[in-house]
Structure 1
Amino acid sequence: MITNIDQLDFSRQYTYADYLTWKFEDRVELIKGWISRMSPAPLRFHQDISFKLSWQIGAFLKNKKCKIYMAPFDVRLTNKRKKATNKSIVSVVQPDLCVICDTSKLDEKGCIGAPDWVIEILSRGNTKKEMKDKFSLYEENGVKEYWIVFPDYFQVQAYDLLDNKFVLRNTYTKGDEIPVGIFEGFTIDSDDMFA
């Protein structure tokens, strides 16, 4: 059993089976087997944005089958060519917010498979992870819609999955009503989100 993050070997790859044995307080993600430390507790503005987004989305989803979850919430992304087992899963991420409409993907440990919509809110120091590593991971696993929120600039980049590739729909700023691609007629009030 691993009780301290310093016991891990950052030069090797791990699986979800390994991840389940770690009993330390540091939050980490696995991206294709590689350990990725999560940023320290986010700034208050990050948390405000997360709460306001979850409130708007949650109100829309009331009485619908789709569910919204906030970090920390494990999303296990699977290799579609292999049967998903704890030993075959090498990517476990904790998106700031995710929406899952196929409730068969949910179990007591979180989500197994791609959410329909993922929102990551950038914190200082984690830009590369969200902009490159997780972007590619979400794209290849079939996340239908991916938003990256830039709190410092009051911006949201919204990507839609088209032909297995993320395509930038638009960059939205404070004052915009941001359409949600997977839910026709639903928009996010950016003034409220960034207030």
Structure 2
Amino acid sequence: MSNMKDYKIVEDPIISRVEDIDFSGSYTYADYFKWEFDERLEIIKGKIFNMSPAPGSIHQRVSGIVFNNIFNYLKGKPCEVFSAPFDVRLYRTSKADEQIKTVLQPDLCVICDPSKVDLRGCIGAPDIVVEILSKGNNKKELKNKYEVYEEFGVKEYWIIHPEEKTFFKYILNEEGKFVPSRLLTIGDEVATEVLPGFVLSLEDVFADR
């Protein structure tokens, strides 16, 4: 009988350069943990997507305004709001790292089920996801993320376009399909059934500073 000491467990190596990633491959959250480089990547159905360059001042200003409005509303309430970088892991049947093939970092997300929040971020669909568009990432936000947010049951998907000063929302219906809202802009207010009584003024969100 062979001695067990003759066998060595070979672990996948840590990857320290994004150039060493095979973008044509399929990946899981377990792979995600082996990446030790500064660039931020997301995984959508096993495929890697580059995130946009670091957000500019307008993006950050809009994000801060929306975050502060939601945060202040949620004081004393069970829901929580989180801002990127914050990993959202979407799973089908297993929460095992090796089985999770979608890991996203939405700009903001609201989570009302505390059991979904752990030390590594969110496991399962947030109630609200907010994406603030930047140059170069519109296709990903509007198509790829739309599909997974709908598929995994995000109740509301907000899309904010700072340059065009518009707000658009998808609401998940009883059949599990997104229904679009009308396009909102300066002068309109945003309300949501997820957070009864919450009102977001787009006049404040898009105010020139």
Q: TM-score range by the shorter chain?
A: over 0.9
- Give the secondary structure class of the aligned counterpart of 2:126: coil
- Retained in 2: the 8 A contact 1:159–1:167? yes
**Post-superposition offset of 1:39:** 0.6
Structure 2, unpaired ranges of 5+: 1-13
Structure 1, unpaired ranges of 5+: none
Q: Which has the higher strand share?
A: 1
Percent identical among aligned pairs is: 50
1:71-127, CA deviations, whole angstroms, 9 ceiling, x for partnerless residues?
A: 000000111xx2220000000000000000001001100000000000000000100
- Give the secondary structure class of the aligned counterpart of 1:153: coil
- Retained in 2: the 8 A contact 1:180–1:188? no
Q: Alpha carbon RMSD of aligned pairs, Å? A: 0.7
1:103-159, CA deviations, whole angstroms, 9 ceiling, x for partnerless residues?
A: 100110000000000000000010000000000010000000110001111100011
Match of 1:126 in 2: 137
- Retained in 1: the 8 A contact 2:94–2:100? no
Distance 1:118 1:181 in 2: 14
- Retained in 2: the 8 A contact 1:121–1:149? yes
Match of 1:34 in 2: 47
**1:102 paired to 2:113:** yes
List aligned pairs for 1:105-184, cutoff 5 A: 105-162=116-173, 163-184=175-196
What TM-score does the superposition give when structure 1 sets the normalisation length?
A: 0.97
- Retained in 2: the 8 A contact 1:14–1:35? yes
Distance 2:187 2:132 in 1: 18
Runs of 4+ deviating beyond 6 Å: none
Rg larger in structure: 2
Match of 2:3 in 1: none
**1:188 paired to 2:200:** yes
- Retained in 2: the 8 A contact 1:29–1:37? yes
- Retained in 2: the 8 A contact 1:159–1:170? no
What TM-score does the superposition give when structure 2 sets the normalisation length?
A: 0.91
